[in-house]
Structure 1
Amino acid sequence: MFRIAIEVRDLISSNVSSALDKAFDPAKLLLRLQREIEEALVGLTGDMSKARRYKVRLEARLEDTRGQIDEWQDKAKSAMNKGREDLARQALIAREDTRLSFSKIEEEIAAIEASLIDMQEVELQLEAKRDDVRMRLADQLAADRLAPVASGSAPRESPVDRRLGHIEALEKRTGYALDGSQAAARKAAVDRELEDMRRESAVDDELAALRASSGTSA
């Protein structure tokens, strides 16, 4: 998921009622929270636009890569027909590398699509949170008989207000950064080794097929 969507999760999951119980100035806290939510919505919209544009670029790269796979296949056949098995092998290795790139682009497109769906859900949740905060603010202002515009004589924000929610946000971000990092590194190493084995096997099989079709002996 894009960075802004992760940060927005903190706003969505924040407990407004608990925060208000601890706040020195509830109306001021609600005003600040509303502003943060509205800014997050703007940032989320920007991230969604970037994701859509990036997806279009990836789809174009995918088509180019598809064409490169066919080109390397043709080059391998041509080289084998001319008795150049060494060149045919190089072409097939390049083809397998290109296929791997193709698969990675497909995975990246799928991840972008999943992120877009997730961000759309987050956007709906954030809008609901904003509406809830607006209603609470209206009720609080009515109870306090305060104008919705903050005045210069408003009480100073307490340390509790300033720190409210930040500890939880930092804990979540730390969790995102550390969770499963070692396991991911081990999995990546295994995946690379398996991919190298798969590529060599595919090249050997393809060379044998080309050798048979061209009548070339090993």
Structure 2
Amino acid sequence: MTTPANRLQATYLIETPLDPAQVAEVMAGEQSCGTFTRVQGETDELRERARATVEHIEELPAASAPSLPNAWLERQGRGGPWRRARVRLSFPTANIGANLPTLAATVSGNLYDLGEVTGLRLEALQLPARYRARFERPAQGIAGTRARTGVAHGALVGTIIKPNVGFSAQQTAELVAQLCAAGVDFIKDDEVCADPEHAPLALRVPAVMAAVHAHQERTGKHVMVA
């Protein structure tokens, strides 16, 4: 399947007591220029330019019971069969721009709150090459990482700072010094440690890099840090 240069495609598995085609249209509208009703300003021209579209629907065997409870459907007295389908939607990349949080909110976001479904899962995402090229690439890449660490062949060994959070900048630097001495090739902060009050980046980066540079002066080994 070829993805158009100006659109991305997302494939979902849905479960619903309603017509899957109807639900797919709700999904497309909800995650682009529409909402539960057509509003003033949502012109035909705007919809043509900015609305997501339903590209494909593949109905699958129905389920005997809903995967998740749904109070909205229960209040309407809607029961089974619980129809399942694989749905592919297409979104204009112009709606999103080079912004990963907006991309995530577009292809998932409110979809998981839809009253029309008793189950929904994002299965696949196809991004056109022109859109991917708008994002910054890794500064080093595989070859650059091997060159910086001096490990031309074989496994690169890395580790993550633990405890995840709570260390001061100096405590973090002391642990980094121990890890460098242990022979690792790269070290990274835990993903929940960004710029905490107890170890702000303005203090943590110089403290950690002082330990890394001291190790390099002693041994010639450069350890990468993220």
Same fold (TM over 0.5): no
Structure label with greater radius of gyration: 1
Query: RCO greater where, 1 or 2, for CA within 8 Å and sep 6 or more?
Result: 1
What is the TM-score normalised by the length of structure 2?
Answer: 0.21
What is the TM-score normalised by the length of structure 1?
Answer: 0.22
